[in-house]
């Protein structure tokens, strides 16, 4: 698996330090409140697990799965809810935890859904952002790292469902896409 990686972009330690920092900021932001933290599956599962351990206010968790890239590295442009929330967001302070923002389509669609369901507030925290690829006007409230326009894997992110368990963020060797 490690042999398929051309370059490590962000190390395990850098990611861990950043998550501690984000946890402190979010603990302050939500002081005295009880946010509903939503993990966007599957990519955000590791980030979510590490982040909530750094948040000191009481919170609740839920999970949502949306259609993404399938086995390709380009977005289909179509967003579909594959697994919906178990919890009502009505009147809740919702914190959306995302792995990476690319075109911005997924999150602009989800924000719209959550607002129509009468969430009290919607806040986005993303570990990674590729702003160069944005096609809609969408910004995260909190971002871990800004990345170049490269397809990345690891720390929850996959290529054809593989590499999610790498503890760092890396770029695949080009021959992996073509083989
Ligand atoms: P949009 O375009 O809607 O996409 O902002 C967000 C989703 O696209 C996936 N994505 C990636 N997955 N490496 C991946 O493994 C990447 O470089 C990458 N870029 C976008 C991701 O699932 C995210 O939720
Ligand atoms: Mg994904």
Structure tokens at 119: 């969430």
pLDDT in tens, the chain (179 residues): 889 999 999 999 999 999 999 999 999 999 999 999 999 999 999 999 999 999 999 999 999 999 865 545 555 566 889 999 999 999 999 999 999 999 999 999 999 999 999 999 999 999 999 999 999 999 999 999 999 999 999 999 999 999 999 999 999 998 988 76
* 126 strand-pairing partners: 98, 143
Cα separation, 143 vs 129, in Å, equals 7
Q: What is the pLDDT of residue 2?
A: 85
Contacts of 49 (CB under 8 A, 6+ apart): none
Structure tokens at 158: 């996959």
- Contact criterion met (CB below 8 Å) for 121 and 141: no
Cα separation, 34 vs 30, in Å, equals 7
Kindly list the distances between the CA atom of residue 102 and the CA atoms of 21, 25, 77, 94, in Å, as whole numbers in the listed order: 23, 24, 11, 21
Active site amino acids: 102
Ligand 1 pocket check for 170: Cβ under 6 Å: no
Ligand 1 pocket check for 158: Cβ under 6 Å: yes
Q: What is the pLDDT of residue 50?
A: 98
- pTM for the model stands at 0.93
**The residue to which tokens 């972009």 are assigned:** 9
CA of 87 to the centre of ligand 2 (A): 22
Positive/negative CA dihedral, 48, 53, 55, 60: positive
ipTM over 0.85: yes
Q: What is the pLDDT of residue 76?
A: 57
Ligand 1 pocket check for 140: Cβ under 6 Å: no
Q: Which ligand is nearest to the CA of 104?
A: 1
> What secondary structure, in 3-state letters, does 84-123 show?
CCCCCCECCEEEEEEEEECCCHHHHHHHHHHHHCCECEEE
Domain 2-178 belongs to what architecture?
A: 3-Layer(aba) Sandwich (3.40)
pLDDT in tens, 30-40: 999 999 999 99
């Amino acid at each position: 698996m490690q042999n398929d990686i051309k370059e490590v972009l962000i190390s395990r330690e850098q990611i861990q330090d950043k998550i501690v920092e984000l946890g402190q900021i979010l603990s302050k932001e939500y002081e005295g409140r009880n946010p509903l933290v939503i993990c966007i599956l599957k990519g955000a599962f590791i980030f979510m697990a590490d982040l909530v351990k750094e948040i000191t206010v009481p919170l609740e968790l839920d999970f949502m799965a949306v259609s993404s890239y399938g086995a390709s590295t380009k977005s289909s442009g179509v967003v579909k809810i594959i697994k919906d929330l178990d919890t009502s967001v009505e009147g809740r302070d919702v914190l959306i935890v995302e792995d990476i923002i690319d075109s911005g389509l997924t999150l602009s669609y989800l924000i719209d859904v959550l607002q129509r369901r009468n969430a009290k507030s919607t806040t986005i925290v993303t570990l990674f952002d590729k702003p160069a690829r944005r096609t809609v006007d969408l910004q995260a409230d909190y971002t871990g790292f800004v990345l170049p326009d490269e397809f990345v894997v690891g720390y929850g992110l996959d290529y054809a469902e593989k590499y999610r368990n790498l503890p760092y963020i890396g770029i695949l060797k080009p021959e992996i896409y073509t083989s």
